[in-house]
Amino acid sequence: MQNRVKNADFAAKIMDADAAAALVPNGALVGFSGFVGAGAPIHLPLAIAKRAQALHAQGKEYKIGALTGASTDPDLDGDLAKANAVSFRSPFMTDRDMRAAINTGETKYMDVHLSSLAQQVEAGFFGEMDFAIIEIMGIKEDGSLIPSTSIGNNQNWLNYAKKVILEVNCAQPESLEGIHDVACLPKVPFREPINIKRPSDRIGTPYMKVDPSKVVAVVVGESKDRVNSFTPLDEVSIAIGDNVVKFLQKEEAEGRLPKGTLLPLQSGIGNVANAVLAGLERAGYKGLSCYTEVIQDGLLALIKAGVITEVSSASLSLSPEAIEDFRENIEFYKKHIVLRPQEFSNNPEVIRRLGIIGMNGMLEADIYGNVNSTNTMGTQMMNGIGGSGDFARNGYISIFVTPSTAKGGDISAIVPFVAHVDHTEHDTMVIATEYGYADLRGKSPRQRAAEMIKIAHPDYRPMLQAYFDEACKGENGKPAGHTPHILSKALSWHDKYNKTGSMK
């Protein structure tokens, strides 16, 4: 403990998690650390959940609002949701219990672009932030805070909150110190250009700062990050990855991408994203760069192989095996990785200026290129938009990837019309499945439809073609118009699934 809390003033505020949780009142708006499970406090949320359950048993109300960087650990989102302790949640989550609370309306949820939340909180759109509960790795003699495995919105929450509780996680290796680059954007309208010209550029310091008078408690403990276990790459994900690489190689051949080095890459999370990264290695690329929001197993492997030489990210999200590799080789990885706040990792101006190639997953796309990333069957929140919108709208090229079907083939990822729109046809350029890629750039809606039908699963292509052909004939004696649709049938596939369990 003494090795991790070296400032006497902070050491005097050390208490256990239950005592610290008692300081957080009913109705408080709390800013938690955490980005894709990394760097989230564990002991405080568990203590808050326990307190909520005890108060509920006494017939008393207890709920808080929860703002984070992105998704968190099950011991944060999950236990708070099971304790019915969250009245409001933003901007992103992946926990099944929190998802259930959101979809029943028990917890109000606002889906926000990850680059936007800090600015909106600073502007007061959510009201005042009462508490910040932030995981750190340690406190230096001068009171500087050593960040953990993610930065997210941490420095922003430390700045905005009226009171702060620090959770010192002694399980994180001290050698992590120095990998971070912490800065904050000035308040609107006093901002200046961000001096990031390549992913490895640093603009801040390795440490976070907090006004000591705001810190009301320091909790010291040990907790592991939520780890993501990835299944081995299968034929479908490998085919999707290869199709994305084929598209990039075509862009190189036609002079729209630099040969051999491409442009900085952004990759979403999950097995398909890992498959795309693996495809780059199989294709023989070396010396690539990434400006992204999450480092997961595939990216770590490419750094080690020399495929990627510099990475800017907001978080580490690794499997147990990759965590061990990272810790054993941390001095090597620190030469190639910068962890920074999400208002920089996802900053639209930087993304556009660097010419990022954005690659993200989706739930479904329609024949005209509109993409649904968030709501299954149009109503059930899955996780949230995350950072995909930041990169899709502002990237040099925006690519969405997905298997062509889900639920054993009962759901088609390519539909006549999406049941919820997160990314409009104006922001999607390329969509890839295991059956190829649809390049939608420079094409009218009807031309887009032809390309999209080609990459659908063979079982659904005739159905899509029949819908499109009928839509092109028009309805009720009226011409089909610029974007042909049959309004009475546009969502019939989703309706059929809800009634029968299959879109077929």
Active-site residue list = 293
Question: How far apart (Å, rounded) are the C-alpha atoms in residues 481 and 146?
Answer: 58
Q: Are 17 and 46 in contact (CB under 8 A)?
A: yes
Amino acid at 132: A
Question: How far apart (Å, rounded) are the C-alpha atoms in residues 140 and 180?
Answer: 15
Question: How far apart (Å, rounded) are the C-alpha atoms in residues 239 and 139?
Answer: 47
Question: How far apart (Å, rounded) are the C-alpha atoms in residues 299 and 313?
Answer: 11
Q: Are 150 and 34 in contact (CB under 8 A)?
A: yes
N residues, the chain = 504
- Strand 380-381 relative to strand 288-291: parallel, antiparallel, unpaired? unpaired
Question: How far apart (Å, rounded) are the C-alpha atoms in residues 395 and 58?
Answer: 52
Phi, psi of 165 (to 5 degrees): -120, 130
Question: How far apart (Å, rounded) are the C-alpha atoms in residues 504 and 501?
Answer: 9
- Residue 287: other Cβ atoms inside 10 A: 12
Q: Are 503 and 405 in contact (CB under 8 A)?
A: no
In the block, which residue shows the tokens 């919820």? 420
> DSSP letter at 474?
-
In the block, which residue shows the tokens 């499970």? 37
Q: Are 170 and 192 in contact (CB under 8 A)?
A: no
Q: Report the half-sphere exposure of 504 (CA within 13 A, side-chain side).
A: 11
How far is CA 361 from each of CA 47, 98, 240, 393, 423, rounded to the nearest angstrom?
35, 21, 11, 14, 12
Q: Rounded to the nearest 10 degrees, how much is the dihedral formed by the CA atoms of 23, 28, 33, 37? A: 110
- Cβ-proximal residues to 469 (8 Å cutoff; 6+ apart), any chain: none
Strand ranges across the sheet with 308-313: 337-339, 308-313, 288-291, 265-267, 357-361, 397-401, 430-433, 436-439
